[in-house]
Structure 1
Amino acid sequence: MTSEARASTRAGLLFGIGAYALWGAMPVYFLLMRPAGPFEIVAWRILFSLVFCALLLLVTRGFGRFRSVLHDRRAVASFALAGALIWANWTVYVIASTSGRVVDAALGYFINPIVTVLLGVVVQKERLRTLQWVAIGVSVLAVVVLAIETGSLPWISLALAASFGLYGLVKKRAGRIDAVSGLTLETAWLVPVAVVQLVVVGSTSGLAWGSAGWFPTLMLTSAGVGTAVPLLLFASSTRRLPLSVVGFLQYIAPILQLAIGVAVLHEPMSTGRWTGFVLVWVALVVLVGESLVRGRSRGIARVEPDPVA
């Protein structure tokens, strides 16, 4: 490997670690926005993300690329659906982060790769191999254990995994569109939703932005930067690293979320809850191990990355 290639790989690793570390630390970021509630946070995140993306398009002279996307009706429709799914994902994630359910959010992103495989069967009509079915079966057992432990389905975990898995599927079918143009289009579709949310919150409990002090206002205003920067780091990482490496880096985010939930926010972890997590980790080991073995037999090592939203 040449010195230039080593430098590129090193930069890719740093970008990837930075992206997933920022995504993993998001619960703390959202807590710094208090007293803003989850629906106000999501609304400002949408609006300021659109503003920041527009500035990026202006600085990088990317409006030409963005206009070409607007001429593709299929892409526009796909990104409308992607916007709806990412709105659901963001909303559930912020609710989890601000209501003491960060551990549930971490579980959702641990489950996500398995949900992605399952979607391949249901939507793409793919045929799974034996060990992939084993991984799915162990994951279902984990959900059953957690449901028995808590007395209800882990809806936050399942909603996050399902919404982000479907989001990834829609984006994949939309074709290769650069990250900034894609996020710009998604957030543009969501502007009416954000405005309605702000009107409702403002007329009921009142908006925290501009009235709860300079620090919450600053945190809410920075939501656009906080959304776009990890995405851009991720895009830079994937251009420099094999998918197998990026695929392993994706677990940094839920590991950090779990650590924050348990060590920082002191969320309870019973024996049954730990059992559910261990079963999910076993399923992931089976899934990743099978992928690597099969990849080596074909001369490649491939683990699909799933960027945390």
Structure 2
Amino acid sequence: MFKGVALSITSSCLFATLYYYATLLSPLNGEEIFGWRMLLMLPCITAFLIISGEWCQVKAVWQRLSQKPQLLIGLCLSSALLGTQQWLFMWAPLNGHGLDVSLGYFLLPLVMLMLGKVVYGDQLTSIQKIAALCAGLGALNELYQVGKISWSTLLVAFGFPLYFMLRRKLSTASLGGLWFDILLTLPVAAYFALGDRSTPGVFTQVPNLYLLLALLAVISSAAFMSYTVAGKHLPFSLFGLLGYVEPILMVAVALILGEQIKAEQWLTYMPIWTAVGLLVLDGGRYLRATRLLAREQNSAKVKVDLCDFV
């Protein structure tokens, strides 16, 4: 569980870095950045899987696909859900939907918490219940301030949980499954990256775009891989609650970029930050209990060994 929490927080930090990093990629627009991300991530993740000896995960999905061709339908749907979210992540801030999408990210962990409880029967600790309540109060205030729920808010809040649930249903919640998700987005990604504008002209204008895009691929790949592996090591509900770390970090990035938190927005952020603090406390308690249990088990084993020796 500790590994899952660490990877989830790492992925949130990396995604928040991407939130700032996109401002360095002018004159590329949101669609083009999305296209290049997906095109360049595939070789990065491929190299990682081969070097780490985990290419067997891709082979396993491919073997299942060859034995059960109808799996391709599920993989295409999974890829479409992922691609849509990644397109929206880059498109929204540049097209007046940044606030709507941020509201979706605030609501997302609550939707996952609800689904985890109802669909998977996840059991919540008392601290996690209090954290969920705090986060819910913050999300309700944000909903009150915005005054409506847009299509982009609903797409984030319900699209991501559907993606995670589908991957669990397909048994593709692994780096091998992520590799296929990205692979199947390549036709659309290539259209966005290479379609409307003269790509050579853009790179002539800004020569350092080559290096910036290479770093974009590395950061994106590391973020996706951390996020994917974290999902395998955490209960669905806790995985959802940890999703609040990312929007909080995105707020920090926005402040660095010169934006300000309005007075009425503190009623959104303070309960959510409280929720994250409670999750950290709960994780610390879990680690302490795990270590104590391990020590007791080791102590009992030593006693048994001594008795055998005597």
When normalised by structure 1's length, the TM-score is 0.68
User: Residue 205 of structure 2 corresponds to which residue in structure 1?
Assistant: 212
User: Residue 31 of structure 1 corresponds to which residue in structure 2?
Assistant: 23
User: Residue 185 of structure 1 corresponds to which residue in structure 2?
Assistant: 180
Give the partner amino acid of 1:35: P
Q: 1:54 to 1:209 in 2, by over 3 A?
A: farther
Return the offset for 1:139: 7.1
Return the offset for 1:10: 9.1
User: Residue 54 of structure 1 corresponds to which residue in structure 2?
Assistant: 46
1:111 and 1:161 in contact (8 A); partners too = yes
Q: Does 1:275 align with 2:267?
A: yes
Residue identity over aligned pairs, in percent, reads: 24
Q: How does 1:164-203 map to 2 (within 5 A)?
A: 164-175=160-171, 177-179=173-175, 181-202=176-197
- Comparing both structures, which one devotes a greater share of its residues to helix? 2
Inter-partner Cα distance in structure 1 for 2:14 and 2:123: 35
SS for the counterpart of 1:210 is helix
Q: Does 1:94 align with 2:90?
A: yes
Inter-partner Cα distance in structure 2 for 1:240 and 1:161: 22
Return the offset for 1:12: 7.7
Q: How does 1:195-274 map to 2 (within 5 A)?
A: 195-202=190-197, 210-234=203-227, 250-262=243-255, 264-274=256-266
Inter-partner Cα distance in structure 2 for 1:77 and 1:127: 32
**Which runs of 5 or more structure 1 residues have no equivalent in the other structure?**
1-8, 294-309
Give the partner amino acid of 2:114: L
Inter-partner Cα distance in structure 2 for 1:42 and 1:146: 27
Larger radius of gyration: 2
Give the partner amino acid of 1:196: Y
Give the partner amino acid of 2:169: R
**Matched residue pairs, number?**
288
Cα distance per residue 1:132-177 (max 9 Å; x no partner) = 9999898777666545534543554443232222221112212255
1:100 and 1:265 in contact (8 A); partners too = no
Q: 1:161 to 1:241 in 2, by over 3 A?
A: closer
Q: Does 1:69 align with 2:65?
A: no
Q: 1:265 to 1:286 in 2, by over 3 A?
A: same
Q: Report which stretch shifted further, 212-221 or 230-239.
A: 230-239
Return the offset for 1:214: 2.2
Return the offset for 1:217: 3.0
Return the offset for 1:122: 7.7
Cα distance per residue 1:159-216 (max 9 Å; x no partner) = 323222222111221225531x12210111111111222344327xx67752331223
SS for the counterpart of 2:158 is helix
1:16 and 1:237 in contact (8 A); partners too = yes
Give the partner amino acid of 1:178: S
Q: Does 1:42 align with 2:34?
A: yes
1:50 and 1:184 in contact (8 A); partners too = yes
1:89 and 1:164 in contact (8 A); partners too = yes
2:103 and 2:143 in contact (8 A); partners too = no
Give the partner amino acid of 1:34: S
Give the partner amino acid of 1:191: L
**Which runs of 5 or more structure 2 residues have no equivalent in the other structure?**
286-310
Inter-partner Cα distance in structure 2 for 1:198 and 1:107: 28
